[in-house]
Amino acid sequence: MNTLIYHKFSKSFTISLILTLLISLPAHAKDHNPCGDFDAYINYEWKSKHPVPSTESSWGSFDILIKSNEEKTITLLNELLGIKYSKSSYQQQIRDLYQSLLDTKTRNQRGIQPLMKYFKMIDQARSFNDLLIINALVPGMTLPFEGSVFQDLMNSESMAFYLSASGLTLGDKEYYLSDDQDKAVIREGLKDYITTIEQLLGHREKKAKRISDDIFNIEKDIANYHYNKEDSRDPFKMYNKFSLKEIEQLIPSIDWNRYFMALNISPDEVIITNPELLKSMDKIGNNHSLKSWKEYLKFHLASNMSSYLTEDFEKARFILFATIMNGVQEQKPVQDRAINRINNLLGESVGRLFISKHFSTSSKEKVEHMIENMRSVFAERIQNLEWMSNETKKEALEKLSSFTYKIGYPNKWKDESSIDIQELHVFENVMNIKNFRHKENLKEYSKEVDRDKWEMNAHEVNAYYHPLHNEIVFPAGILQPPFFDPEGDDAANYGGIGAVIGHEFSHGFDDQGSKFDADGNLRDWWAPKDRELFNNLTQKLEEQYNNYEILPGVHLNGKYTLGENIADQGGLLLGYYALLKEYENQPEPALVNGMDFKQRFFYGWAKVWRQNATDEFIKQLISTNPHAPAKARINVAISNLKEFYDAFNCDAPSETDRVIIW
């Protein structure tokens, strides 16, 4: 799934007004050269006045809009309080979950009691297979691999069962194996975190440290067999289909019949994303005692549910994931934390509340027009590509014409009325939600593909391209200033939401999306020579980003961010030429505060992506996220565009030094 922005640990800060995309050249602009550092030219003054708040890891246009949506959501939730709703209505579920999230007094009084029935199950296990069954039955637990249902990448009309690599608290193998000093600091932070959790579970310090060492060693063992993050972006590498007989031969120590019976699923075949990890399960399992595996499972349950236990558990998680890893100094107020969690737990229902008061159908109509305008531009650009053969162009144009889109909110809402949610006992509420989602996911195996399903909440400030549906999706949350103003300047809109639309279109043709065809199937539809030429171009783009120094001695990872970088460049080009198409056969628009409409387009792009961030956050983004930091998304994305250099009368680098993919 390709998305527009990164997902952060923390996204909000109290403000009173959202900034709109006013078109005015910053007063400092005369001190900076647009041809050198365009981010500074447009955003220096704003950034100098808006440091990263103590509760944040970054602060920019996205965060401001996210906070505005959160404030609107708080108002909506507070309006639900004190009103009697029928049991299991979505309003009752949201209201009572919200109240239970705010009730820290009850959480602190209950301590670790909510964990005890699950710990008892773990203690009764007599083998690793027993633990595997518990893991299959109880959401929130973690083992080296996890099972789930998703569309078959090579047959997008059917659902398949996947076994995927898991088991790492920090997610990425580099944290466990790299000699990098920053990674070593985080590694020690993880050990301290595990020790703290074990002490909160009732162990004395010496024993807690011993358990911590055992758990860390298990995770380090698992990390040895995880793919590098760059390799995990290759869908062909991640697609390995096995029959049940072949799986039994691959990992004979696991009782697969019992495992699938526990899941209540009978797959004929299984897709394994990382066969090497599964093949190594015997070795990993035998390296550690059953007692250590039990402690590992208990720790992960407590860690995964730490936000719903006592405030001490919550604080321990904050120190590792927010302070050590992202440089956040201060924990948010309880209400802000509750909003973030309710968005994750019942986000579709919250979005249902949001769009009833904060979305206009006129916005949807205008965005639809922009999408079709951009589709037309993209078709022209494909037809005019010099490096692509007619054979491959035909396939590319077929895929482009097959793109569907969703705007605003789902046509139908999920029925989640069977989830039991009450005012007290947030732990049970969350487990009930997780259990419902787990079972619903497994039920999808025997159902038709649901193409009406949304992968984001309606009020989310984001967008995405779904390669198996060949669709682009724009939630209502992002269809607001500074990205989009239905009554605003066309140039600003095309530099904002227009470039977002183009970004998602381009994901269908980036290094990942280009491996899926018009029907959403993983298939090599390229003529071999065309794929070779495409790879040559993307290699040049990869090297450009590798050479960009975002912090002293810290360079970007051009290979890992390649898909997003292709999409950023494509989004800019499609947005720019769609804007020109908007003004075809019309007089050129008047200057606004000294800027013509072409300059205002790039101004809109830079203003959308302006951001301050902690050094820790930037380093983590580079290590774990396929999006480049915001400054690079502004400066490097425009560095290949003749259109930008012409707009600001800059001397463009030679064509041999620039690279255009689409």
Q: Cα angle at 408 between 403 and 409, to 5 degrees?
A: 95
| 119 touches 296 (CB < 8 A) | no
**DSSP states of 582-621 as a string?**
HTTTSPPPPPBTTB-HHHHHHHHHHHHT-EEE-HHHHHHH
Q: Cα angle at 452 between 450 and 453, to 5 degrees?
A: 75
What are the residue ranges in the chain where pLDDT is below 50? 6-27
Look at residue 24 in the predicted model and tell me its pLDDT: 42
| 609 touches 633 (CB < 8 A) | yes
Look at residue 31 in the predicted model and tell me its pLDDT: 62
**DSSP states of 33-91 as a string?**
-TTT-HHHHHHHHHHHH-PPPTT-SEEEHHHHHHHHHHHHHHHHHHHHTT----TT-HH
Q: At what angle do helices 361-383 and 390-402 cross, to 10 degrees?
A: 170
202 exposure class (CB count in 10 Å sphere: 0-12, 13-18, 19+): exposed
Report the sign of the C-alpha dihedral through residues 405, 341, 220, 242, in that order.
Answer: negative
CA distance 621 to 613: 10
Assign 384 to helix, strand or coil: coil
Greatest extent of the chain over all pairs of C-alpha atoms, in Å:
79
Q: At 585, give phi and psi (nearest 5°).
A: 60, 25
H or E element in which residue 326 lies: helix 325-326
- Name the class of domain 37-72+346-657: alpha beta
| 482 touches 68 (CB < 8 A) | no
- Selection from 219, 134, 213 nearest residue 169 by Cα: 219
* Structure tokens belonging to residue 130: 């027993």
Pick the CATH number of 115-308 from 1.10.1380.10, 3.40.50.300, 3.40.640.10, 3.30.450.40: 1.10.1380.10
| 316 touches 199 (CB < 8 A) | no
- The distance in angstroms from the start CA to the end CA of the chain is 20
What confidence tens digit (pLDDT) does each residue in 49-99 have?
999 999 999 999 999 999 999 999 999 999 999 888 999 999 999 999 999
509 exposure class (CB count in 10 Å sphere: 0-12, 13-18, 19+): buried
CA distance 54 to 10: 11
Look at residue 5 in the predicted model and tell me its pLDDT: 64
What confidence tens digit (pLDDT) does each residue in 531-541 have?
999 999 999 99
| 96 touches 421 (CB < 8 A) | yes
Count CB-CB contacts under 10 A for residue 495.
31
Assign 147 to helix, strand or coil: strand
What are the residues whose beta carbons fall under 8 Å from the beta carbon of 415, sequence distance 6 or more? none
Q: Where are the domains of the chain?
A: 37-72+346-657, 115-308
